[in-house]
Amino acid sequence: MAHITSSWAATYCLEDPARTADPIFAADSSSADEARHILTSISGATLEADHPLNRARRTVAGAWSAEQPCAAATRLVAAHADTAHTCAAIADVAQRVVHVIAAAHSAARQAYADADAAILAHDLTHYRQELGTYPGWDLPTMVITAAERERVDSGRQAVIARLNVALFATYRDLDSGAADAGRSLASAPWESLPAAARPAVGHPADDQNQANLALLRRDLSDPAGPRYALALAVDQALRKAEAAGQTAQLLGYEPTDPPGQGSVAIAIGDVDAATSVSVVVPGIGNSPATIGESIPSAGLLNDEVIAQAGAAQGTSATVLWWGYDIPLSWPDDVAPAPEGSSRAHHLSDTAMATSAFGAVQAGKRLTAFTASLRRVMPSTSRLTLIGHSWGSLVVSQAALRTDRNVRVDDVVLAASPGVGFQLESADDYVAVDADHVYVVALPKDPVTMSLTDKMADAPFPLNGALRKKIFGVDPGPFGPDPADESFGANVIDVPSEQGSILPISLSVHALTNYLSGESLQAIAAVAAGNGPEIRLRQPN
């Protein structure tokens, strides 16, 4: 939040009120309101269904003398009643959360309004100047007295202190209100159903696929609409998979988020049935509009995982997650353009490729996706995150933020220029232990070399100093190299499938190269749970 108190706080070395206010205002109640609406509707409909169901139960009891049909009819009535009750209870919690957030927003706004009023009442915006004389000259000039400085400075500091106290209290209320609500959400709606009727026996990933396909069809039905081009590209990608005899599930489809690019997730293989699910995160220069190009690689990875796990062990699904704001995607992007200058958007999209700063936000998105994916996967299936190139930064930052209870089994960082900021070694990851972090850095891949760091910094010579100021040390534009021995990951020892007589070759860096030959076999082995058997590079 841009408010004068933030710059004053910097001047007086005080806590910036915006640091507390920003998260309060970032709490968006609209998703809670949406959830409340869905739950209330379902509760109402299940209650309404009680009349025909009870009628049917009485009819069956009178028409069929056997016990079982009547018992089944009674269970169905009870399941509806329990669902109505549970959904209504959760809707109440959602309503409470909406109120708690609205109250926090209101209190924070009031705190700022009070601060504004105090600033105005005590005339703290500017130092008042008095008429004085310029030394040595007989000229009138405006001067600020020491007493005036003291008055304004102490007044501003008091305003900031009061504002911080009010915002801290608001934050605490919001936090405790949310915690209270969270405790009431322990039971899920399906727990009220008889075991045989629970949707867990269904196909949650395919349900999601069907829901997203409906959105895709909506966009395809409007060729003049802004979402049509991306919808068409996604449809073609799905058809490409189908033509290759693969099962494809559209697990994510957001044409307007991020603006100008959109985001798409396509699973090759059936996530509902998969015993091993891999999420592939691409690097720079990819776009959801060209996701179809990676479908063959996903198919190869699936086949290799199944081969390594043994066909009897089950099946594999590979999720192509083109779900973050991918740097340098703009040349291929077809999604609705963002507001503002397209040139500025292209410049920022390009600049993002030269450092790890954007990977934090991207990592948070992957964390959210991974948690959602885990909820629809079979509970015993393996989950592996694979990042290629800049995508390895995203996977790394997600692994730094993903709770253990999401149960990520392994992480693979392929063709990585670095792991991003705020970590020094594989021990820093939250999602996995260091021995579940694998690195593939093919010889002659320039992106894995320090050369890339130098090239990334070349247009921005002050970046090194900036990073040093922020982090205390300069970890380079992309953070520590995961292939470095000191990082403590398992560095896989494999040659490149793509030969080259040159000392470096960009073709070695391609995702298709990393997902071929011995590199593919090694990555598939990790996904299949055979990581400990892979040959690792020996420390120097």
Partner 1 sequence: MSAALSVDTDALEHAAADYREAAALLAPLARAPLAAGLYHRLVGGPPKVAEVLSVLQHRAEEAHAVANRLSDLGEQTADRLIDSARRFDEAEELCTTGGR
Window 294 to 333, contacts with partner 1 (CB under 8 A): 323
Residue number, 11 or 31, with CB nearest to partner 1: 31
190 binds partner 1 (CB under 8 A): yes
Residues 6+ apart with CB under 8 A from 250: 209, 212, 213, 216, 234, 238, 264, 265, 266
Whether 506 and 446 have beta carbons less than 8 Å apart is answered as yes
32 binds partner 1 (CB under 8 A): yes
What are the DSSP E strand ranges found in 274-421? 276-281, 316-322, 382-388, 410-414
* From candidates 4, 161, 178, 273, binder to partner 1 by CB under 8 A: 178
- Name the minimum Å distance from CB 211 to partner 1: 4
Residue number, 361 or 512, with CB nearest to partner 1: 361
Residues 6+ apart with CB under 8 A from 337: 259, 260, 345
Residue number, 61 or 449, with CB nearest to partner 1: 61
Residue number, 43 or 463, with CB nearest to partner 1: 43
* From candidates 34, 123, 222, 533, binder to partner 1 by CB under 8 A: 34
* Distance separating alpha carbons of residues 489 and 425, to the nearest angstrom: 8
Q: Which of 247, 239, 404 is nearest to 318 (CA)?
A: 247
**Which residues, 465 to 504, sit near partner 1 by CB under 8 A?**
none
Q: Which of 74, 515, 459, 471 is nearest to 282 (CA)?
A: 515
- The mark string for 53-82 relative to partner 1 (x by CB under 8 A, - otherwise) is x-xx--xx-xxxxx-----xx--x--xx--
Whether 456 and 478 have beta carbons less than 8 Å apart is answered as yes
Residue number, 350 or 372, with CB nearest to partner 1: 372
- Name the minimum Å distance from CB 214 to partner 1: 4
- The mark string for 259-298 relative to partner 1 (x by CB under 8 A, - otherwise) is ----x-x---------------------------------
48 binds partner 1 (CB under 8 A): yes
* From candidates 159, 241, 251, 511, binder to partner 1 by CB under 8 A: 251
* Distance separating alpha carbons of residues 152 and 216, to the nearest angstrom: 59
* Distance separating alpha carbons of residues 437 and 455, to the nearest angstrom: 27
Burial class (CB in 10 A: 0-12, 13-18, 19+), 115: buried
**Which residues, 95 to 124, sit near partner 1 by CB under 8 A?**
97, 101
Total residues interacting with partner 1, rule: CB under 8 A: 84
Question: What length does the chain have?
Answer: 540
Residue number, 202 or 443, with CB nearest to partner 1: 202
Whether 309 and 529 have beta carbons less than 8 Å apart is answered as yes
Stretch that binds partner 1, among 46-54, 421-429, 442-450, 494-502 (CB under 8 A): 46-54
* Strands 410-414 and 382-388, sheet pairing: parallel
Residue number, 199 or 499, with CB nearest to partner 1: 199
- Name the minimum Å distance from CB 202 to partner 1: 6
Instruction: Identify the sign of the CA torsion 90, 93, 95, 101.
Output: negative
48 to each of 34, 45, 82, 419, how far by Cα in Å? 21, 5, 13, 54
Stretch that binds partner 1, among 120-128, 183-191, 459-467, 516-524 (CB under 8 A): 183-191
* From candidates 123, 128, 158, 199, binder to partner 1 by CB under 8 A: 199
- For tokens 């995982």, the residue is 305
214 binds partner 1 (CB under 8 A): yes
- Name the minimum Å distance from CB 56 to partner 1: 4
517 binds partner 1 (CB under 8 A): no
188 binds partner 1 (CB under 8 A): yes
Residue number, 262 or 420, with CB nearest to partner 1: 262
254 binds partner 1 (CB under 8 A): yes
Q: Which of 377, 238, 246 is nearest to 303 (CA)?
A: 246
* From candidates 132, 202, 340, 495, binder to partner 1 by CB under 8 A: 202
What are the DSSP E strand ranges found in 392-506? 410-414, 437-440, 490-491
252 binds partner 1 (CB under 8 A): yes
Residue number, 307 or 406, with CB nearest to partner 1: 406
* From candidates 159, 164, 189, 261, binder to partner 1 by CB under 8 A: 189
Token digits of residue 474: 């300069």
Stretch that binds partner 1, among 109-117, 195-203, 239-247, 382-390 (CB under 8 A): 195-203
253 binds partner 1 (CB under 8 A): yes
232 binds partner 1 (CB under 8 A): no
**Which residues, 399 to 428, sit near partner 1 by CB under 8 A?**
none
* Strands 263-268 and 316-322, sheet pairing: antiparallel
Write the DSSP assignment of 147-187 as a string of letters: HHHHHHHHHHHHHHHHHHHHHHHHHHHHHHHHHHHHHTT-S
197 binds partner 1 (CB under 8 A): yes
168 binds partner 1 (CB under 8 A): no
Torsion-angle region of residue 488: left (phi > 0), alpha (psi -120 to 50) or beta? Answer: left
Residues 6+ apart with CB under 8 A from 310: none
**Which residues, 373 to 392, sit near partner 1 by CB under 8 A?**
373, 375-376
164 to each of 7, 19, 177, how far by Cα in Å? 14, 9, 20
Stretch that binds partner 1, among 299-307, 361-369, 418-426, 496-504 (CB under 8 A): 361-369
What's the CA angle centered on 98, arms 93 and 102, to 5 degrees? 145
**Which residues, 11 to 30, sit near partner 1 by CB under 8 A?**
23-24, 26-28, 30
Residue number, 150 or 180, with CB nearest to partner 1: 180
* Distance separating alpha carbons of residues 210 and 304, to the nearest angstrom: 28
Stretch that binds partner 1, among 4-12, 52-60, 140-148, 420-428 (CB under 8 A): 52-60
> Which 3 state secondary structure label does DSSP give 473?
coil
